[in-house]
Amino acid sequence: MKRKRVDEVLSKHPLMQRLMKDTKPIVLRCSEVYNEYVKRTGKIRMAKPTKPLTPNERYRVDVFQRAVSILNATERLEICRTFVRRFPSPRTYQKSGIGHHTWLEYHFGYYIILLVSLADVALILTNEVFGLGNQERNCKSYIIKSNDYIRGTKVKTALDALEVLVKPYRRVRNMHVHRGKSPDIPDILNSEQLDQFMLTSKVAVMSKPAKTPEILDLMFSGQAREIVQRMTGELDELQKVLSRLFDSILPTYETHVVLRGPP
């Protein structure tokens, strides 16, 4: 059976379906106001914003935007998985100093950044859904999880599970983002074979002229297959965790929509 992408599964989740239903009228109304302004004035930049959103509309839009951020991140994670699987035209790329090892480091490094960032975005989404009032920079794990509305709930359980999933990569991500240190993929995956492959690829790129032994293509294929298997397992687990998070916050979202009055 064909594997389903994380973003595809989440886009069909009841939370996303409800959010799209709730925000569509708002987006259409704002678009109509903007289009009418452009036709009337001939300008593409409005001097004043459209009619301000009601508190209910603002709530719906804010939650929708945070949820979409999660969808976008999972889509890019799936793209990273696709890139790691295959290195196209290695001879062409090598002319620009991009070897097999560079290809892996770049796309797996971006995968790590995205994966870890999802834990932070999930905290921000939770903050919005429950109306906790924290600014984004203050949506820290201990602040959100210790809140009376979150502590001891399925929401916290889902957030904890997400943190467990990304924990092996958090320090690597921080060194990559804040220190500019490329992730040591062989060390992360505890693979001596991958370490040997990365070294061989670096030597090939440094050769004058650069040479790409056919064995490198074969080695890349084998190593990439193992990395992709790991990524696939993590992404499938990510889909389950995020689905549980969406399940747990949907009732609260629906309640807040009612409590905040008519749109």
Q: Taking residues 199-207, report their average pLDDT.
A: 74
Query: Which of the two residues, 126 and 104, has the higher pLDDT score?
Result: 126
Read off the amino acid at residue 230. R
CA distance 149 to 130: 8
Model confidence over 135-162: pLDDT tens digits?
999 999 999 999 999 999 999 999 999 9
Q: Taking residues 38-63, report their average pLDDT.
A: 78
pLDDT above 90 coverage of the chain, percent: 53
Model confidence over 208-261: pLDDT tens digits?
555 556 777 777 888 888 899 999 999 999 999 999 999 999 999 999 998 877
What was the pLDDT predicted at 117?
95
Model confidence over 51-77: pLDDT tens digits?
678 889 999 999 999 999 999 999 999
Which of 202-224 are b and which e, b meaning 16 or more Cβ less than 10 Å from the residue's Cβ?
eebbeeeebebeeebeebbeebb
- Cα maximum dimension of the chain: 70
Whether residue 134 is predicted with pLDDT greater than 70 in this model: the reply is yes
Q: How confident is the model at residue 173 (pLDDT cuts 50, 70, 90)?
A: confident
What was the pLDDT predicted at 189?
78
User: What's 136's DSSP letter?
Assistant: G
CA distance 108 to 227: 9
Q: How confident is the model at residue 34 (pLDDT cuts 50, 70, 90)?
A: low
Whether residue 25 is predicted with pLDDT greater than 70 in this model: the reply is yes
CB 172 within 8 Å of CB 188: yes
CB 80 within 8 Å of CB 103: no
What is the average pLDDT score of the chain? Answer: 87
Q: Taking residues 33-46, report their average pLDDT.
A: 69
What was the pLDDT predicted at 99?
81
Q: Taking residues 72-97, report their average pLDDT.
A: 87
User: What's 138's DSSP letter?
Assistant: G
- Beta-carbon contacts of residue 38 (< 8 Å; ≥ 6 apart): 44
Structure tokens that stand for 65 in this block: 């935007």
CB 120 within 8 Å of CB 73: no
Residue among 158, 172, 185 nearest 115 (CA): 172
CB 128 within 8 Å of CB 66: yes
Residue among 7, 257, 110 nearest 102 (CA): 110
3-state secondary structure 159-218: HHHHHHHHHHHHHHHHHHHHHCCCCCHHHHHCCHHHHHHHHHHHHHHHCCCCCCCHHHHH
